[in-house]
Amino acid sequence: MRDPRYDILFEPVRIGPVTAPNRFYQVPHCTGMGHRYPESEAALRGVKAEGGWGVVSTQETEIHATSDVSPSNQARLWDEQGVSALRLTVDAIHAHGSLAAVELVHNGLHAANRYSRVPPLAPSAVVVDSDDPMQARGMDRADIADFRRWHRDAALLAREIGFDIVYVYAGHDLTLLQHFLLKRYNYRTDEYGGSFENRLRLFREVLADTKEAVGDKCGIAIRLAVDELLGEDGLTHDGEGRDIVAALADEPDLWDVNLSDWANDSQTSRFSEEGFQEPYIGFVKSLTSKPVVGVGRYTSPDAMVRAIEKGVLDLIGAARPSISDPFLPNKIRDGRIDDIRECIGCNICVAGDRTRVPIRCTQNPTMGEEWRRGWHPEAIPPLDDKGPYLVVGGGPAGLEAARALARRGAEVVLAEAGTEWGGRVSRESRLPGLAAWARVRDWRLGQLRQSPNVRMYLESRLTADDILEHGSPHVVLATGATWRADGAGREHRTPLPFLAGRPVLTPDDLMTRGAGAIASPGAVVIFDDDRFYMGSVLAELAAGAGHETVFVTPAPVVAPWSENTLEQERIQKRLIGLGVGIVPLHGLAGLSEDRLRVECVYSGRTQEVDCGTLVAVTSRLPNGGLWEDLAARRDEREGAGIRSVTRIGDCLAPGLIAAACYSGHEFARSACA
C-alpha cells in the first residue's frame, strides 16, 4: 500500500491541452538506438510507460539534414525511416496510457553533418564545437526563414504521428536556438544579434510558430538551460537565464529547465548529490504560472515530495533514474520503496551514447535489451530445472546471477570467501566519491534476503574438493579478478622486469587497507594505464591523506575514458586542486629505491621523479584457479553429478561493474533455456 505522504506524486498535471496522469516525467534522453534501431527504441520507451512514467520523451529529434550528428544515433524527423521509427515509439508509449513527448532539435554548430555533408549552420560564421576541421556557415535571413519552416513542419509531423508534447529546445550548448541566445556564438549586427531582445527574437518566433501550428492539440514545452556554470561568459540563473524565463514566462505550456552543458546537467554521484540542480532552477516557478519540470538524479520519493512542496518543481524529471529503474513510479505507487533499483550516478548510460552504441546501465542489465533479447526489468520466466545452483563469489556478477536465478525459481546457494558481500563494489565504494556505488550491492542483497529459495554464506572459501563434495548440478564461478603489480597493461604489454620483487602497490592494496597501505616515506606515484576512474580516485585518496602525490600516465590527460562519462574535466581539475603533480604521455622505464624513471611515449626521452611508493593501476588477471582445478577434474565432476560449470563476470574477463552485472544476469536468463 502506498504511503499517503507520496499521494502528491500521483496527482495529474495539466500541460496545455493535454494532462499528464502523474508527476513522473521521463525527460528527453539519448539511447543510442534512435532511427537506426526503431524496434529497440520503441520497446525501451514502452517499458518506461509501463513502469508508470506519466510522460515519456524521445531523445533529440533532428528536424533537418543540416542538423546531422552522425555517427551519434539520435531520432530524426527529416526522412521517412526516422518518421516510421517514431510512430513505433509513440504507439508503445500510448499503449500504457502515458503522454509521448518529442524533443525537436537543430544542432547548429554542434552538428558537423558528417553524413549529410551539408555545411553546418550557426548564428555567425564560427568553428564547429567538435574536433572536425570545419566551420559553420553564418545564417542569413533566408536561412532563418528556412529554419523556422523546418521546425514548424517537424512540429506538424510530430502531431500527425501522435505526439502529445512538442519541445522547443535551447539547452546543453547543443542547439541552434541556444546558440542564437549566446554572445559567444552570436556576433550578428541585425535584429537577431546584439541586445538581449534581439538574441531572444528567434527563440520567441519559433515558440510562437510551434504554438500556432500544433498548440491546439499538443502541449508546448520549452527546454532551457538556465545556467551554464560559466559565470559572466554564459547564461546564469541570476542573469540572462532568468531574463529568458521572465520574458517568456507564460508563453509555453511547460518549462523543462536544467544546466548546460551535458557534463553539468548529468553530473555523476562522484561530484554531486541528489537534487543538485535545485539552487539553479529554483527561481523558475516564481516567474511563471505554468508547470515546471527539472532533474537532479532523484531516486528518493521523500526528496521528490520535498521538491514539489517547496515550490521548486511540479513534475519530477528523470533520465538516469528512469534507466536504472523504469518501474520506479509504480514501486512508489504500490508501496514497494525498498524494491527501487536506485541509480548510482556512474554515467555508464551516457557512455553508450558517447561510444555510439545502444544504452546500457550498471544497475539495470536489461536496459537496452528490451526488444533485442526480450528482457523485461521486472519479469523473468521460470526455470524448468530448479537446480540447485552453487554460485561461488558474492561480488556484482555473483549477486546478480543469484538474484535472477532466484527470481526464476531456482534453489541457490551463494558462497563468498570474504567477510562481506559485494566484492569489488564494496571495496570501490569506500574510495573517495564512490559511496553511491554500494547501491549495486545493497539492492541485490535486499532482493536476495527476501528470497526463501536462497542460502547465503560468508567466509566460505571453496576448493574444487568442496564443490565436488557439494555436488550441485550447476556451478557458477564469480571469483573476480586481481590487479597486477608487474606493470603489464596497454602501454607495457608484458611484465616489466625492473618491477619484479619490488614492493609495488596495486588498487587492491589501497582498497583493502586504505592510505595505511602507504608505508614508505616520499612521494606516492600513481601509474595509471587503466585510463578510467581508478587511478584518479587513488590519487585523491593518497593526496587526501597528506602524501605528496604524482600521477603518471601514457595518456595525454588524466582518465581519458571518463570523457565518455562526462567526468574528465572535473577529475583533472580536482587532482590539480589537490596539488597532485600530473605527468602525461609517459610510461615506465626504471625504478630505484626512491626514484622512478619515466619515458616519453613519443620521443623515448626519460626523466626521473621522486618515488617512495609506486601504485600500479594497469590491468587485472582473472582469479581462475578454481576454474582450472575443476576443468582438470572433468571426470570427477560428472561422477559428482555436476552438469555444468560456468565462469561469469571478472573471472571470465575483467571489465566494468556494469559488465559484471550484465554477465551475471545473462547467465541467469540463459540457464537451461
Q: How far is CA 406 from CA 325, 409, 438, in A?
A: 19, 5, 21
Pairing state of beta strands 18-20 and 13-15? antiparallel
* DSSP-assigned beta bridge partners for residue 415: 392, 457
Cα separation, 202 vs 168, whole angstroms: 11
Task: Give, for 157, the enclosing helix (H) or strand (E).
Answer: helix 141-161
Exactly one of 30, 218, 361, 611 is catalytic; which is it? 30
Q: What is the dihedral of CA 425, 426, 432, 437, to 10 degrees?
A: 50
Active site residue 146: no
Give Cβ neighbours of residue 212 (< 8 Å, ≥ 6 apart): none
CA distance 263 to 261: 5
Count CB-CB contacts under 10 A for residue 576. Answer: 13
Residues 6+ apart with CB under 8 A from 191: 198, 201
Active site residue 96: no
Among 104, 100, 83, 96, smallest CA distance to 26 is for 100
Pairing of strands 606-610, 595-600: antiparallel
Nearest to 656 by CA among 421, 425, 313: 425
Q: Which of 25, 37, 167, 169 is catalytic?
A: 169
Sign of CA dihedral 165, 170, 172, 176: positive
Sign of the alpha-carbon dihedral angle for 107, 109, 110, 114: positive
Is 151 among the residues known to form the active site?
Answer: no
Q: How far is CA 547 from CA 6, 270, 536, in A?
A: 48, 22, 14
Which triple of cell numbers denotes residue 8? 502528491
The residue annotated as part of the active site, out of 172, 179, 492, 547, is 172
Report phi then psi at 614, rounded to 5.
Answer: -105, 125
Q: Cell match 536506485: residue? A: 342
Rounded Cα distance, 502 and 486, in Å: 9
Catalytic: which of 129, 265, 529, 530? Answer: 265
Active site residue 30: yes
E strand spans, 63-208: 75-76, 99-105, 121-122, 137-138, 165-170
Q: Which residues are catalytic?
A: 30, 169, 172, 265
